[in-house]
Structure 1
Amino acid sequence: MKRREFIKNASLTGVGLAVGNSLVGCDETKSKPINEANKTVIADSKRLPLVIATWHVKEATAKAMEVLQAGGNALDAVEQGCMVEEANEKGQSVGKGGLPDRDGNVTLDACIMDKHGNCGSVVYLQNITHAVSVARKVMEETPHVMLAGEGAKQFAISSGFEPEDLLTEASKEAWEKWKVEAKYKPIINIENHDTIGMLAIDKNGDISGACTTSGLAYKMGGRVGDSPIIGSGLFVDNEIGACVATGLGEEVVKTVGSFLVVELMRQGKSPQEACEEAINRIVTKPNSNFKDFQVGYIAVNKKGETGSYSIHQWFSMTKFQDGVNEQIQSDYYNKS
């Protein structure tokens, strides 16, 4: 089952973006665990280093593990791991070759977050392949967390990134075919969206994460999903753990999903239990049409334990740990 065959006929009408007061600032999110047991949690060195990522991306996790085994840190690992998929033109989901919006523009969203709670993000970035690296530059070299559109592009170019046309012939042909019967309204006829989200723990037990995507295929111009939004698409708390999301971003944003998973782990839930509860928050909302869209979470805690869960079948996580780089099918909610 391909990543892009999940989500059908989901409406974007009336989407709200609500991020709670608890996400005041990325570098202010660290707080003492409320669960007494968590106060003494340390990484299990036998489980480290560790890399997990959304979907079947063994080349990406292999690159990240290569960085870690060479003594690199978790932040370098997730950046370089995500860059593998961004350069993969055949993937049509992130970076070069990504499927365009309804006007034929490939627009990228990405974010990154380090062990200190520092974070950077780019939204609606065009003509720059490695959006995750630009997000890291935003984090490390500007006073801001997020840059958008033309401003993000100009910052990238001024930082040495080379602009290039990201619309490949294969993606252009797919877009031309879609236009034949497409209706220009915020309804997803055939959802073609996925993301690479990656989390890593290095030998020191420090956690970092990154998320990058070309977003919803054939989206309305200007649409931004959950992937570049800290707390929704990605959240890291080095005292507790980390989470990253994939699927229909509008639904992830509504529950600030990745932050929710980490907070549930702070309260004592395992990564698996936290992912399951976060999915439950989506599917049990009044008037939820969850049968028409997919959301999946992966998570890791400070001990190196992992979890993954989705609404529908066939979501998977790639995990590289103890010398084994494997694809793991996620458990899921909708078994009807």
Structure 2
Amino acid sequence: MLNRRQFLQRGAAASVLTVPFIKEVGAMNAPVKKPVVISTWNHGIPANEAAWKVLKAGGRALDAVEQGVRVPEGDPTEMSVGYGGRPDRDGHVTLDACIMDDKGNAGSVCFLEHIKHPISVARMVMEKTPHVMLAGEGALTFALQNGFKKENLLTDEARKQWEKWTKNSDYHPEVNIENHDTISQLALDMDGNLSGACTTSGMAYKMRGRVGDSPIIGAGMFCDNEVGAAAATGHGEWVMRTLGSFLVVELMRNGRSPQEACEEAVLRIVKLKPNFNEVQIGYIAINKAGETGAYCLHPGFNYALYEDDKNVLYDAKAYLKK
């Protein structure tokens, strides 16, 4: 058993070892690149354009990511986000979203119907309530009370696809089908502050009431202004089981680059799920130096990166090869 003197001596030694490491991680010795914005999938290109306008004008990363993801939310041709999203198996379009700022504030909505821009409702939850998440009817009531308009989000094209599906009602989510799904966006502004947003209509023809990772802080998206931010896309159940975005940020806190952190988060799923061939997971990340990373389980996940006044779509590296 340790006596008091031995305990204090060991504690002092431990603090000598750990404090310099924490300072080194927080310092981010690499030259800072800013602004930077990164988004999932090819609908990240127009989302980045909207976010970049905010960032180049000296605006906050928080405003940039909200304005960015509103673009695919309002696009009826993007059938996995917002207006025009594919419905659940009962024909209802239900939306999930979350947002997080540089001060650790967060807002989220899930199982929200009839509101075209759930990301803006999520931000209002963050800024106007003492809560982080509102769900279902409660989220809808809150949105309507705060000036949002109730709309029919089921487009003719989405309805036709759902009616075709109901003939067999065979639910087998496919990897990378039609460039699904979430739009996740992370931004570093001119002041060096980070924010993130994530929004989706979820898996097509899901069970009524199913909620994925996208509205869950630490799963679909996580932001820590001392370290970096990360976001996920793909089959949300496995992101939830591993708290993937939080994991990526914590790995960066412990010295991993954004790319290394994304790769490790995917490997955690590989270790946990024997039949990982049936799912797709992708992560994006950014640190305080403006360095970015992206990685996925299967080839086919792409991401949009806007830096140095160039908005480019890249194919992410994958664990499995073609």
Given the two structures, how large is their TM-score scaled by the length of structure 2?
0.90
List per-residue Cα deviations over 1:288-307 (Å, max 9, x = no partner).
21101100000000100000
What pairs up with 1:152-171 in 2 under 5 angstroms? 152-171=139-158
Cα deviation for residue 317 of structure 1 reads 1.0
Larger radius of gyration: 2
The answer for the alignment partner of 1:188 in structure 2 is 172
8 Å contact kept, 2:174–2:278: no
Cα deviation for residue 40 of structure 1 reads 1.8
Q: C-alpha separation between the residues in 1 aligned to 2:145 and 2:120?
A: 13
What pairs up with 1:13-92 in 2 under 5 angstroms? 35-41=22-28, 44-45=31-32, 47-56=33-42, 57-92=44-79
The answer for the alignment partner of 1:209 in structure 2 is 196
Count residues with an aligned counterpart. Answer: 300
The answer for the alignment partner of 2:131 in structure 1 is 144
Cα deviation for residue 314 of structure 1 reads 1.3
Structure 2 gap segments, 5+ residues each: 1-18
8 Å contact kept, 1:43–1:302: no
- Secondary structure of 2:96 counterpart: strand
Q: C-alpha separation between the residues in 1 aligned to 2:182 and 2:20?
A: 30
Question: Following superposition, which runs of at least 4 residues in structure 1 exceed 2 angstroms of deviation?
Answer: 32-36, 41-45, 187-193
Q: C-alpha separation between the residues in 1 aligned to 2:57 and 2:202?
A: 32
The answer for the alignment partner of 2:317 in structure 1 is 331
- Secondary structure of 1:210 counterpart: strand
8 Å contact kept, 1:123–1:148: yes
Cα deviation for residue 44 of structure 1 reads 3.8
Cα deviation for residue 188 of structure 1 reads 2.5
The answer for the alignment partner of 2:8 in structure 1 is none
Q: C-alpha separation between the residues in 2 aligned to 1:323 and 1:70?
A: 13
Q: C-alpha separation between the residues in 2 aligned to 1:33 and 1:133?
A: 40
8 Å contact kept, 1:33–1:39: no
Q: C-alpha separation between the residues in 2 aligned to 1:247 and 1:33?
A: 37
8 Å contact kept, 1:312–1:335: yes
Q: C-alpha separation between the residues in 2 aligned to 1:196 and 1:68?
A: 19
Cα deviation for residue 38 of structure 1 reads 1.0
Please, which of 302, 309, 317 is the counterpart of residue 288 of structure 2? Answer: 302
| Residues 43 and 88 of structure 1: CA distance in aligned 2, closer, same or farther (over 3 Å) | farther
8 Å contact kept, 1:297–1:308: yes
Aligned-partner residue type, residue 299 of structure 1: A
| Residues 61 and 238 of structure 1: CA distance in aligned 2, closer, same or farther (over 3 Å) | same
Cα deviation for residue 43 of structure 1 reads 7.9
Cα deviation for residue 37 of structure 1 reads 1.2
What pairs up with 1:86-105 in 2 under 5 angstroms? 86-105=73-92
- The alignment status of 1:315 with 2:315, answered yes or no, reads no
8 Å contact kept, 1:33–1:266: no
Q: C-alpha separation between the residues in 2 aligned to 1:90 and 1:144?
A: 33
Given the two structures, how large is their TM-score scaled by the length of structure 1?
0.87
Higher helix residue share: 2
- Secondary structure of 2:210 counterpart: coil
Deviation larger for 53-62 or 96-105 = 53-62
8 Å contact kept, 1:138–1:144: yes
The RMSD of aligned alpha carbons is 1.5
Cα deviation for residue 319 of structure 1 reads 0.4
| Residues 236 and 33 of structure 1: CA distance in aligned 2, closer, same or farther (over 3 Å) | farther
What pairs up with 1:277-288 in 2 under 5 angstroms? 277-285=264-272, 287-288=273-274
| Residues 165 and 42 of structure 1: CA distance in aligned 2, closer, same or farther (over 3 Å) | farther
Cα deviation for residue 42 of structure 1 reads 6.9
Structure 1 gap segments, 5+ residues each: 1-31
| Residues 128 and 160 of structure 1: CA distance in aligned 2, closer, same or farther (over 3 Å) | same
8 Å contact kept, 1:33–1:267: no
Aligned-partner residue type, residue 130 of structure 2: P
Cα deviation for residue 39 of structure 1 reads 2.6
The answer for the alignment partner of 1:7 in structure 2 is none
- Secondary structure of 2:62 counterpart: helix
Cα deviation for residue 78 of structure 1 reads 0.0
What pairs up with 1:210-249 in 2 under 5 angstroms? 210-249=197-236
| Residues 211 and 189 of structure 1: CA distance in aligned 2, closer, same or farther (over 3 Å) | closer
- Secondary structure of 1:175 counterpart: helix
| Residues 190 and 179 of structure 1: CA distance in aligned 2, closer, same or farther (over 3 Å) | farther
What pairs up with 1:3-14 in 2 under 5 angstroms? none
Relative contact order, higher structure (CA 8 A, sep 6+):
1
